[in-house]
């Protein structure tokens, strides 16, 4: 009896923590994960993606997806180019439509790379109740009634049991809040390399076209040809700031470059001076 009472107490405590987590979030935490009220006592790390654990991991591309027409296709059909992946759900009338609208606006400012030509975009629902019908309605309500740009697909998953496999493989967490009748989740774009490896997480409320352009450049990685060496140089000049969730100038690189230039200048200057003295002495 005592053992049963102890088990019940533990179960009640776990349920209480779960309730607090579900009711305390509004799509995540910190600037990168959404907004949490100042009075909230919920630890925002609950929804935080453990980036260092998943960066470099290869996604499973065997999953079967369905677009708004109900047509099936494999995730693997979008390999070969960098892929911007966004998880959403289609009965959402708030953050999910915003994150997709913002992505569309952000991509308009990406001048170096062209969607469909240099990279692809994929929105996948993590709600097992979503269907091609709810997807079609979401597209209409979110401002995509005329369709998506070439290279961008919005989809549901054919096998509902695959949802947790795909989201879990990238560290994406989500919870259902019965009180608010909504999912709580991070608003994040996941960048995948042409070979399907996770290369970057960019958070919806903070990124700029420059951030996205740099993320695509970095994702292209070793595929940057000699003719596009300038892209490699530009990519190297920026590093990702995990604290701010943005790209920033790679200060150590510039310091090292400055030191190298100074050293070379000193060597060349010394050589030129010695040569000048030698010529003057011989004359």
Q: Which residues are annotated as a binding site for Cu cation?
A: 92, 96
Are 150 and 115 within 8 A, CB to CB? yes
CB atoms within 10 A of CB 247: 24
- Phi, psi of 219, rounded to the nearest 5 degrees: -65, -35
Task: Give the single-character DSSP code of 238.
Answer: E
Q: Which residue has the tokens 């401002």?
A: 143
| Pair of tokens at residue 260 | 């190298």
Q: Mention every residue, 6+ apart, whose C-beta is less than 8 A from residue 19.
A: none
Length of the chain: 283
DSSP bridge pairs for 122: 85, 153
| Pair of tokens at residue 120 | 């692809």
The binding site consists of 92, 96
Long-range pairs for 113-118 at CB < 8 Å and ≥24 separation?
A: 113/213, 113/216, 113/217, 115/149, 115/150, 115/151, 115/152, 116/149, 116/150, 116/151, 116/152, 117/151, 118/81, 118/82, 118/216, 118/220
């Amino acid at each position: 009896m005592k053992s049963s009472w102890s088990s019940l107490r533990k179960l009640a405590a776990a349920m209480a923590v779960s309730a607090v987590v579900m009711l305390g979030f509004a799509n995540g935490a910190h600037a990168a994960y959404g907004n949490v009220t100042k009075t909230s006592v919920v630890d925002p790390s609950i929804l935080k993606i453990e980036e260092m654990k998943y960066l470099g991991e290869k996604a499973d591309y065997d999953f079967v997806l369905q677009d708004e027409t109900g047509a099936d296709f494999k995730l693997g059909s979008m390999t070969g180019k960098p892929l911007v992946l966004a998880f959403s759900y289609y009965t959402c009338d708030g953050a999910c439509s915003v994150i997709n609208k913002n992505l569309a606006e952000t991509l308009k400012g990406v001048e170096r790379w062209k969607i469909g030509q240099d990279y692809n975009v994929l929105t996948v629902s993590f709600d097992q109740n979503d269907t091609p019908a709810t997807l079609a309605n979401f597209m209409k309500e979110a401002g995509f009634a005329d369709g998506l740009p070439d290279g961008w697909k919005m989809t549901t998953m054919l096998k509902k049991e695959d949802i947790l496999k795909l989201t879990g493989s990238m560290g994406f967490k989500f919870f259902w809040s019965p009180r608010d009748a909504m999912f709580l989740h991070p608003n994040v774009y996941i960048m995948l390399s042409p070979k399907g490896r996770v290369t970057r997480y960019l958070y919806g409320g903070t990124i700029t076209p420059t951030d996205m352009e740099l993320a695509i450049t970095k994702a292209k990685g070793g595929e940057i040809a000699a003719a596009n060496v300038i892209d490699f140089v530009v990519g190297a000049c920026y590093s990702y700031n995990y604290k701010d969730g943005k790209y920033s100038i790679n200060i150590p690189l510039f310091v090292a470059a400055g030191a190298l230039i100074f050293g070379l200048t000193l060597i060349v200057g010394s050589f030129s001076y010695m040569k000048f003295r030698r010529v003057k002495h011989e004359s």
